[in-house]
Amino acid sequence: MFSYILKRLIWTIPTLIGVTIMVFSMVHLAPGDPAVAMLGEKANPQSVKELREQMGLDKPLYTQYYIYMKNVLHGDFGRSANSYEPVWSEFSDRFPATLELASMAMIIATILGVLAGIISAIKRYSIFDYTSMFGALAGVSMPVFWLGLLLIYFFSVKLGWLPVSGRLGYEFDIEHVTGLYLIDSLIAHDYEAFWDAFKHLILPAIALGTIPMAIIARMTRSSMIEVMKEEYIKTARAKGCSRFQVVAIHALRNALMPVVTIIGLMLGSLFAGSILTETTFSWPGIGKWLVNAVYQRDFPVIQSATLIIASMFILINLVVDLLYAVINPKIRLR
Amino acid sequence: MRDFIKQYKKNKSAVLGFFIVVLLIFMAIFAPWIAPHLPADQDLVHRLTPPMWEEGGLHQFFLGTDDFGRDLFSRIIYGARISLMVGAISVGMSLSFGLTMGMLAAYFGGKVDLFIMRIVDIMLSIPAILLAIVVVSILGPSLTNAMIAIGIVGIPTYARVVRASVLTEREKEYVIASRINGSSNMRLMFKVILPNAATPIIVQSTMGFASAVLEAAGLSFLGLGAQPPTPEWGAMLSDSLQFITTAPWMIFYPGLAIFLTVLGFNLMGDGLMDVLDPKLKDK
């Protein structure tokens, strides 16, 4: 197993380097002078020259890459071309919002997806099975932003139950400890703020969680069906275990292994999926930050946001793979 | 072929998917005859008119109008052309590059395989929508650039599918026989192996069509794809955001069009997978 882990770790390095090269090349691949692109066509030549020097664009490409990598490895992602704030501080301000949204989406997706999958597998070919599996296919085909708009229309505009956008009502002011409002409001014992933050979170989390939920439901179902055919399930039945015991203790534990992997892998893509959801719900996270940067052609932000999201995605996948290797003897013993 | 149709017909959801896709193609081809108005025709007097069956609705605007008084129904019909075009061009692009890369990797193996699959892994390590946004931010927002972005994003998936499929065919006897007969590498790759390795590629292309449509709509929704006044469904949804309280019909129908299109291709892909290669479904 050690060689597997080592191999997997080593393979991550060229991937990460590849991503940095791609992100670094972005500025150079864009048509025209990046300094002009940032300052606008009408900028005076002196400020363009200064910006070029500041960005190191007057140096050879390999030197630029070397400087870029050195800075990145020291945690210096440059400054936003728009706000002149350090990119890292802008990122860390927004990251908790995305983390909170993605985590809630994953919780909803996992609970509902696994439940639907189990019931579908036990009651195979029943109406519930057909409905939930068709629902799962529909969920995969659902544009997240459209679902978001429908949720806003029905639950916010029509019924007035939940807020339309944002993270917290203006009347609340909670101290930022973790940046996760649900936790911060609990720390501050401000239960009204907690309830308000929860109400803001629920619609975007449902919108973002729909596709993972559909995938988890399908995966759980097929995995359960597979496991229920195993000999040890027959043995458990023959021994006189109740239906609940068979499903919950014998089958589920084994069926959930591939599901856990897929959940881990989807965590990374949720950060990317949040780009559309955050735009729909004006959720102040990294997805919306990235989209705004694209509108403003703020390359330092686009580069860093891409690099950070992609690295997170790669590292989460790495951790999931390694954990899977630890859990699964087939890989462990290879 | 007859067997194929018989098998396919058994799968009701696949048949539904097929009908949705046929309807979409029909809408796209006959748009000028079906749509009562031109997609960019403005009627400012009748702006934000609700659908025909709602109070205040007018029979000439079946699904209502948008903030410029443009007929939503006509724009959705014309939008089918754009979605199909986006799907076809970006899938075509992904497929041609992915096919070549996957084929070369599997056929030659060794260092060629290692090199190509490393690039593929790097591309796959970045989430699709993020990669598409990166490409659009480099090229600038437009429908053409969105298609290019989606085309590029799809390449690694096709490369992997083609590679896996070719690898299983490469060592089969008919390939060896053809090689002994003196077939060139090109002939072996594209005339001998490819037709036998096509099944997963067809399935992937159908599913890929669905994700291309979805990604294009997403990019346009973000303002990074089709620009106004193009009747693109995602862009139409993006315009509708500010009218969510006053003109909800602007949200319902373009989104429904995207959903049904994606669902249609996904159902069809699922059905094709069942019929052509049931083993694939378990993977």
pLDDT at A238: 87
CB-CB: which of B237, B266, B282 is closest to A141?
Answer: B266
Residue A333 has pLDDT above 60, yes or no: no
pLDDT at A115: 92
Q: Cβ separation of A22 and B262 shorter than 8 Å?
A: no
Q: Is residue A195, in this structure, part of any structural domain at all?
A: yes
Q: Cβ separation of B126 and A297 shorter than 8 Å?
A: no
Cβ(B253)–Cβ(B267) under 8 Å? no
Q: Cβ separation of B138 and A26 shorter than 8 Å?
A: yes
> Which of B128, B130, B102, B127 is CA-nearest to residue B116?
B102
pLDDT at A98: 92
Q: Is residue A11, in this structure, part of any structural domain at all?
A: no
In a shared domain, residues A131 and A25:
no
Residue A91 CA: distances (Å) to CA of A19, A66, B78, B165, B224 = 19, 23, 40, 42, 22
Residue A330 has pLDDT above 70, yes or no: no
Of the listed ranges A95-104, B169-178, B225-234, B268-277, the one predicted with least confidence: B268-277
Q: Is residue A147, in this structure, part of any structural domain at all?
A: yes
Spatial separation of the C-alpha atoms in residues A84 and A71, rounded to whole Å: 17
Of the three residues A11, A38, A73, the one that is the final residue of a domain is A73
Cβ(B265)–Cβ(B207) under 8 Å? yes
In a shared domain, residues A69 and A98:
no
- Per residue in B190-199, pLDDT (tens digit) is 888 888 888 8
Count Cβ atoms within 10 A of the Cβ of residue B242 and give its class: 0-12 exposed, 13-18 middle, 19 or more buried: exposed
Count Cβ atoms within 10 A of the Cβ of residue A331 and give its class: 0-12 exposed, 13-18 middle, 19 or more buried: middle
Spatial separation of the C-alpha atoms in residues A47 and A41, rounded to whole Å: 12
Of the three residues A10, A43, A73, the one that is the final residue of a domain is A73
In a shared domain, residues A128 and A50:
no
% residues pLDDT > 70 (chain A): 96
pLDDT at B209: 93
- Per residue in B214-251, pLDDT (tens digit) is 999 999 999 899 888 899 999 999 888 889 888 999 99
> Which residues, in sequence order, are CB contacts of A38 under 8 Å at separation 6+?
A51, A81, A297, A298, A299
Distance from CA of B210 to the nearest CA of A (A): 8
Which residues of chain A neighbour B256 with C-beta distances below 8 Å? 146
Q: Which residues 246-265 on chain B approach chain A with CB closer than 8 angstroms?
A: 248, 251-252, 255-256, 258-259, 262-263
Q: How many CB pairs under 8 A join A and B?
A: 135
- Which CATH number is A171's domain given? 1.10.3720.10
DSSP, collapsed to helix, strand or coil, labels residue B262 as helix
- Per residue in B8-21, pLDDT (tens digit) is 888 888 899 999 99
In a shared domain, residues A258 and A144:
yes
The answer to whether residue A295 neighbours chain B at the CB level (below 8 Å) is yes
CB-CB: which of A134, A145, A310 is closest to B221?
Answer: A145
- Per residue in A166-186, pLDDT (tens digit) is 888 888 888 888 888 889 999
In a shared domain, residues A166 and A309:
yes
In a shared domain, residues A220 and A260:
yes
CB-CB: which of B121, B127, B263 is closest to A15?
Answer: B121
In a shared domain, residues A41 and A177:
no
Q: What is the ipTM score, two decimals?
A: 0.89
Q: Cβ separation of B137 and A302 shorter than 8 Å?
A: yes
Where does chain A have alpha helices with state H?
2-29, 34-39, 45-55, 61-73, 87-122, 127-141, 144-151, 181-187, 191-228, 231-238, 243-245, 252-281, 286-295, 299-327, 329-332
Q: Is residue A186, in this structure, part of any structural domain at all?
A: yes
In a shared domain, residues A197 and A235:
yes
Q: Is residue A8, in this structure, part of any structural domain at all?
A: no
Q: How far is CA B91 from the centre of its chain?
A: 6
Q: Cβ separation of A310 and B222 shorter than 8 Å?
A: no
Q: Is residue A311, in this structure, part of any structural domain at all?
A: yes
Q: Cβ separation of B118 and A31 shorter than 8 Å?
A: no
In a shared domain, residues A147 and A282:
yes
> Which of B203, B187, B193 is CA-nearest to residue B268?
B203
Q: Is residue A78, in this structure, part of any structural domain at all?
A: no
Q: Which domain holds residue A226?
A: 94-327
- DSSP state, residue B98: H
Q: Is residue A10, in this structure, part of any structural domain at all?
A: no
In a shared domain, residues A237 and A270:
yes
- Per residue in A211-227, pLDDT (tens digit) is 899 989 988 998 888 88
In a shared domain, residues A34 and A120:
no
Structural domain tally of chain A? 2
Taking the CA atoms of residue A21, residue A43, residue B142 and residue B160 in that order, the dihedral angle to the nearest 10 degrees is 0
B43-50 average pLDDT score = 86
When pLDDT is cut at 50, 70 and 90, the band that residue A265 belongs to is: confident
pLDDT at B89: 96
Cβ(B43)–Cβ(B60) under 8 Å? no
